[in-house]
A and B are shown apart, each in its own frame.
Chain A
Amino acid sequence: MFEILLYIALFLITVAMFGLIYRVIKGPTTPDRVVALDALGITLVAVIAILSIILRTNAFLDIILLIGILAFIGTVAFSKYLEKGEVIENDSNL
């Protein structure tokens, strides 16, 4: 029963990820796509947590932290690019 429910949860999250991918492809503006990508990153974390329960291993748990950090940095870089047109600003008066 426990295993079956885990597989059902994994399936539902995959459906949710497909919905977010639909928004990434369609999204009328670029910020829409960034919102969907950010949510995709956090959903990926959830997928890995459920997978590591199904496989009964704790080898993947470090990846969770890594993907969380990468999703946040990606969002910050994207929104900075949208706002200023570049990610890392060069100080021209240096």
Chain B
Amino acid sequence: MTAIYEIIVMLFILSGTFLTLAATFGVIRLPDIYTRNHAASKATTLGAMLILLGAMFYFLFFEDHFNSRLVLAILFIFMTAPVSGHLIGRAAYNSGVKLWNKSVADELARDRKKMKQGKSI
């Protein structure tokens, strides 16, 4: 029985580790801040959540103790990760970081320009 429990915990922790490594690889490899933000804000979140779930199952199975703070931490990371990704993206755009030169469309710049013209008229 302990073998099955160990396999479950290990599965969670190893998949979380793999996702974290993939996120790092993406942050190093991708060309500009916005695409890097994709990798960092999605893959790291699920990676950390899986590792925390693994830790929760470990303490539940082997120490007979259900840690509710881990559940709170998982919920907190799940709620705040998209918010911080969005905030960094908006701050980058507003502080004038250029998109990657192979980007195909930028409708935000077009609409902002339109709005500015509308105001000046």
Physical contact A–B (CB less than 8 Å) = yes
User: Quick one: given A45-B52, A46-B48, A65-B72, are A83 and B59 in contact (CB under 8 Å)?
Assistant: no
* Cβ–Cβ contact A82 & B95, under 8 A: yes
Bound Cα distance from A16 to B41, whole angstroms? 15
* B-side interface size class: 35 or more
Bound Cα distance from A17 to B24, whole angstroms? 8
* Dominant SS among interface residues on chain A: helix
Residue among B40, B47, B54 having the largest count of chain A Cβ atoms under 10 Å: B40
Within 8 A of B (CB), among A1-19: 1-2, 5-6, 9, 12-13, 15-17, 19
* Cβ–Cβ contact A79 & B25, under 8 A: no
Chain B 1-29, CB-CB to A under 8 Å as 1, else 0, gives 00000100110011011101101110110
* Cβ–Cβ contact B17 & A12, under 8 A: yes
* Cβ–Cβ contact B20 & A46, under 8 A: yes
Interchain residue pairs A-B with the least CB separation, the first 8: A79-B91, A31-B92, A19-B24, A16-B24, A49-B55, A82-B91, A79-B87, A75-B84
Write 5 A-B pairs (CB below 8 A) sorted by A numbering: A43-B44, A45-B77, A50-B13, A65-B76, A78-B88
Query: Known pairs A29-B92, A69-B76. 20 more at Cβ < 8 A?
Result: A19-B28, A31-B97, A32-B33, A34-B88, A35-B27, A39-B24, A42-B48, A46-B16, A49-B51, A49-B55, A50-B13, A53-B54, A53-B55, A58-B65, A61-B55, A64-B69, A72-B83, A78-B91, A79-B84, A83-B94
